[in-house]
Amino acid sequence: MIDRGQAFHEQDPEVKKAFYRRDHTRRVRYESNYDLLTWRDSLIISMGFSDHIDADEIPSACRTIAIEYIKHVTNLGDTLFELLSEALGLKPDHLTALECNNGRHFICFYYPACPEPELTSGIYNHSDATFLTILLQDQLGGFQVIHENQWVDVQPIAGALLVNIGDLLQIVSNNKFKSVNHRVLAKRVGPRISVGWFCVGGSVPPKLYGPIKELISKENPPLYRDFLVSDYIKQYLSKEHGTSGLDYFKL
């Protein structure tokens, strides 16, 4: 997946241009420095409205392996949701029944070598507006998390995947799980390739989420109000970089 993702991004620009879109409703799109604040390109395959996507919509440079990878990482995500449900003291299918494993987005990131990395970043400080994120990265590194108020490198391990709790899972677990602040550094060496699988939950038809009632009691009152995924994403995109999207939904 890393190799074929790199093959797509390093094609002739005229070939990639056919997939270039600013329209977020397009299921497959290529973006280059979308917010002008970060040093990366992205190939996005969105299955937010349907699990099915026509193979012909996916670029030929990575089509076969992307379809295969999406299938395997989705199965892994389903297993992780079962384990997380059990960790909350719930039945294994609880988070799946809430459709937390729906609304999947697959993104292949490409971080070129940057001549002045001190002036930008690969991805700025943020937590994910997801229930769960699974990340495959190459061996170049650059991914960092906040630990004890300091940025700490997450060293790549061959064959390993990074799993991040997202904001939405923090809300429905009523803070039993915590989303993680992270960033990606821009580097003078590159390119760096990573592949993210993002699960944002049910949004079609709109589904109301909030702290799971089985986790609520007099001793553990709800900490967040109910919300629609679309409302959370809208608020998340409007916030300042480096701030939490959770604050707006706290009771």
List average pLDDT for each run of 10 residues in the chain, which is 251 residues long.
96 92 83 82 85 86 95 96 98 96 94 93 92 95 92 93 96 96 94 96 86 96 94 84 84 91
Return the structure tokens found at 250.
């706290």
- What CATH code is carried by the domain that includes residue 86? 2.60.120.330
Count up the domains in the chain and report the number.
1
* pLDDT score for 49: 66
Peptide bond into 205 cis (omega under 30): yes
Whole-structure pTM value: 0.93
| pLDDT for the residue numbered 240 | 76
Dihedral class, residue 28 (left if φ above 0, else alpha if ψ from -120 to 50, else beta)? beta
Residue 20, helix vs strand vs coil: strand
Contact predicate 242/222, CB 8 Å: no
Residue whose entry in the numeric block shows the structure tokens 């670029």: 59
Looking at residue 132, its amino acid is L
**Distance in Å from the first CA to the final CA of the chain:** 42
Give the residue numbers spanning the domain of 228: 2-249
The confidence score (pLDDT) of residue 50 equals: 67
